[in-house]
Amino acid sequence: MIHLAPSEADLHAYVDGQLDASARAEIERWLAAHPERAAVVADWKRDAERLRVQQALPEHWPANPLLDPARLRRQVRARRRTRLGMAAAMALSLCVGVGLGWQAKQAQNPVARLPMADAVAAYRLFATSDTLASLDSASPTQLRDWLALHFGALDRVPDLSAQGFHLVGGQRLSTEQGAAAMLVYADAQGTRLGLYVRPGGWFRRPGQRRDGDLLAQYWSRGDASFAVVSPFDDPRARSVASALAPRG
């Protein structure tokens, strides 16, 4: 059990997934007892996940210095320091350590250069969240119009009821080329499937790849690229991709 507050380095290592199971459990017990610190750490985790989504578009990095991974990491570190200072003023019991746990491994990770790595990252960030945001609180017609405005190739909100899924929400995202979106569907048992769409027709033919326990099936149509991201062992995902992807 942790008797003293963990150091800043410990908290950053926890955010970046660098602790073993025992140390992670101790940090989580301490955070459960200090909700004001837990809120700050939750903000750090959201920053880190959003950074991973941005870094998953390597085709744009050379032409846009604003998306340079080192620059993005510096911005995240600066926000972390600011939030840490604010929280320290409210919780003087926290013993702030020295150094940061952020590492540059993500920018060098070859997975980030794989097809539709941003789709997989968005699925892990949003589709598995218990606080999934509604993509659009307005009517289905307005949602359809928003998607049609940004993605001419997606002229309707896909109906996946034949495959056993219904739309539960989603998240607007942004890329260098413009707006992106992750639509999240679920079945009656709560299994979730994501349909990711972003600008750019990068793929000449449909493809797929496994990423851990997930399967990403991707294709391009018009000026947009799509990916169906699902648990790898869910056979229905292939029928979803077959129904949505261009034929021939």
CATH number reported for the structural domain that contains residue 204 in this entry: 3.30.200.100
> Are residues 136 and 103 located together in one domain of the fold?
no
> Are residues 149 and 236 located together in one domain of the fold?
yes
Half-sphere exposure at residue 107, Cβ-oriented, CA atoms within 13 angstroms: 12
pLDDT of residue 102: 31
> Are residues 238 and 151 located together in one domain of the fold?
yes
Q: In what order do the strands lie in the sheet with 166-175?
A: 166-175, 178-186, 192-199, 224-231, 214-221, 207-211
pLDDT of residue 229: 96
Model-wide pTM > 0.75: no
> Are residues 159 and 219 located together in one domain of the fold?
yes
From first CA to last CA, the distance across the chain in angstroms is 60
Q: Which of 49, 75, 109 finishes a domain?
A: 109
Q: In the structure encoding, which two tokens stand for residue 100, read together?
A: 């940061």
Q: Which of 72, 88, 109 finishes a domain?
A: 109
> Are residues 195 and 173 located together in one domain of the fold?
yes
pLDDT of residue 131: 56
86 within a domain of the structure (yes/no)? yes
Q: Which of 52, 83, 109 finishes a domain?
A: 109
Q: Residue 120's beta-bridge partner residues?
A: none
> Are residues 90 and 149 located together in one domain of the fold?
no
Pairwise CA distance, residues 24 & 156, whole Å: 43
> Are residues 140 and 198 located together in one domain of the fold?
yes
Domain extent, residue 149, equals 114-244
Pairwise CA distance, residues 107 & 110, whole Å: 8
Taking 50 as the pLDDT cut, the residues of the chain under it are 1-3, 60-62, 85, 87-112, 136-138
25 within a domain of the structure (yes/no)? yes
> Are residues 89 and 130 located together in one domain of the fold?
no
Q: Minimal CA–CA distance to 200: which of 183, 177, 219?
A: 177
Pairwise CA distance, residues 73 & 103, whole Å: 9
Q: In the structure encoding, which two tokens stand for residue 216, read together?
A: 């990403």
Instruction: Please tell me the total count of domains within the chain.
Output: 2
168 within a domain of the structure (yes/no)? yes
> Are residues 25 and 123 located together in one domain of the fold?
no
> Are residues 183 and 64 located together in one domain of the fold?
no
> Are residues 20 and 61 located together in one domain of the fold?
yes
> Are residues 98 and 121 located together in one domain of the fold?
no
1 within a domain of the structure (yes/no)? no
